[in-house]
Structure 1
Amino acid sequence: MSTKVTYHTWDDNEVKRVERELKDYFSVIKWAYQTYGEDVVYACSFGAEGVVLVDLIHRVKKDANITFLDTGLHFKETYELIEQMREKYPSLRIELKEPNLTLDEQKDKHGEELWKTNPNLCCQIRKIEPLTEALSGVTAWISGLRREQSPTRSHVNYINKDEKFKSIKICPLIHWTWEDVWNYIKLNQLPYNELHDRNYPSIGCYPCTFEVKGNENLRAGRWANSTKTECGLHQN
């Protein structure tokens, strides 16, 4: 159970063996910290899945490293939630990782509202490059991906070889449903982003996140009226 899988030592058979021994989400989290210790970081968006994982991780490692990609374009409600989580879990090391370019510098270099003219480049500058830096000193990272979220996430495993970041991506909640997430939040009385109560199931940057209507997919409000469906963090 303590096999330390790395990007460079990845072995499909060994990973499958380890996954067979991981019975559920909590065993995955315990394995992650028993195996990697300080060599793993949780990249948290502080959505509904995020607050669940923060609570679960805190039960295993009180001083875990949590990284939030602070694009400078998040809703005020998201920043307010982060402060609530810091108060609730003061021992966790929550870092707000900013891009190398400020919004003004990005405007000067690439023009106004890059998220409209070239959303992929905007995500590259404000999310992918900062996460690349955050993961440069660690072997593994934890993500709140769930298979139910979208077709592009339906084949995610507990342990994944991340080609983009040359890392190991650990996803404890792959089998959770949206109902499971909210049952856990309510049962444990966790704080959450109040935008969820206003039909924002998936919350990113405010220029690219919209209200979901009717029976639309949970991620339908992300980059609405666009062919873009992912920021690129989870695309190898």
Structure 2
Amino acid sequence: MEETTISSLKQGKNLRESLAFLSENTTGKIVFSTSFGIEDQLITDAIFAQNLDNVEVFTLDTGRLFPETYATWDKTLLHYGKKIKTYYPEQNHLERFVEEQGINAFYGSTELRKQCCHIRKVEPLQRALNGATVWITGLRAEHSANRNNLEIVQWDAQYQLYKYNPLLHWTTEEVKNYAEKNGIPYNILHDKGFVSIGCAPCTRAIKEGDDFRAGRWWWEETSKKECGLHQ
């Protein structure tokens, strides 16, 4: 990605303008990863509504998602009439892990939870990002203290590509208002206290005043909880 393109994206155009600019001014493969959370739905809308066909929208189906997430996925396909590429865990790795450790092994220790996340999320993501130049994400700084030092555009050494975080400095209220104003379908779990929505066994609603990540892997004592997708 050229420095002039990076500089322009960092200036903070509105969401649709930013993604259209990225699409028009980037050579190489552009991908966007959606987990069907409300932030991702805003980005999906900007891509699909503008027919930015050189941006590949993909998702990771871990096999343990909420029914509401699958419903949002289906509603999104019907709403936009577009395709979303899906990546699944490698069959043999997942079967061996479940056989050796059990179906809910992630409750046993942080190490086992991270192994599960790696098989169900990280390895499929590595395949999805193979050959990509730019990875668009729905990351927001509010979601985790680990993300306060992120930049709107930054080089990701782990995956050897540029990561673009167009919603990084948006507030929760701004995200919700944008979705409502533009009639964007979103996961109804957000109306039930779920802020960050991942796998069903590992996610729960939070109470007012709780940390944003309190609903993820709540049985772990550490406050710095990530699944390995974003370092």
TM-score tier after normalising by the smaller chain length: 0.7 to 0.9
1:135 aligns with 2:113: no
Q: Within 2, Cα distance between the matches of 1:23 and 1:188?
A: 17
Unpaired segments ≥5 residues, structure 2:
none
Could you say if the C-alpha distance between residues 162 and 194 of structure 1 is closer, same or farther in structure 2, counting changes exceeding 3 Å? same
Partner AA of 1:114 in structure 2: A
> Once the 2 structures are TM-superposed, how far is the Cα of residue 17 of structure 1 from its aligned partner?
3.8
Q: Where does structure 1 differ by over 6 angstroms across 4 or more consecutive aligned residues? A: 13-16
d(CA) in 1 for partners of 2:12 and 2:194? 32
Pick aligned residue for 2:105 from 111, 114, 119: 114
* Residue number in structure 1 paired with 2:138: 144
Q: Is it true that 1:39 corresponds to 2:33 in the alignment? A: no
RMSD between superposed Cα atoms in Å: 2.1
Deviations 1:53-102 (A, max 9, x none): 111122333434211111001001101110100001113x3012101036
2: CA distance, partners of 1:67 / 1:180: 24
- Among candidates 74, 88, 93, match of residue 83 of structure 1: 74
Letter in 2 for 1:100: E
Per the TM alignment, residue 112 of structure 1 is displaced from its structure 2 partner at its CA by 3.4
CA distance in 2: counterparts of 1:43 and 1:186, whole angstroms = 22
Code of the residue aligned with 2:201 in structure 1: it is P
Q: How does 1:207-226 map to 2 (within 5 A)?
A: 207-226=201-220
Q: Structure 1: state its 5+ residue gaps.
A: 6-12
* Residues 184 and 16 of structure 1, relative CA distance in 2, 3 Å threshold: closer
Letter in 2 for 1:31: F
1:69 is aligned to: 60
| Percent identity for Structure 1 against Structure 2 | 36
**2:97 corresponds to 1:101:** no
Residues 29, 60 of structure 1: 8 Å contact kept:
no
Give the number of aligned pairs.
224
Other-structure match for 2:175: 181
How far off is 1:26 after superposition?
3.6
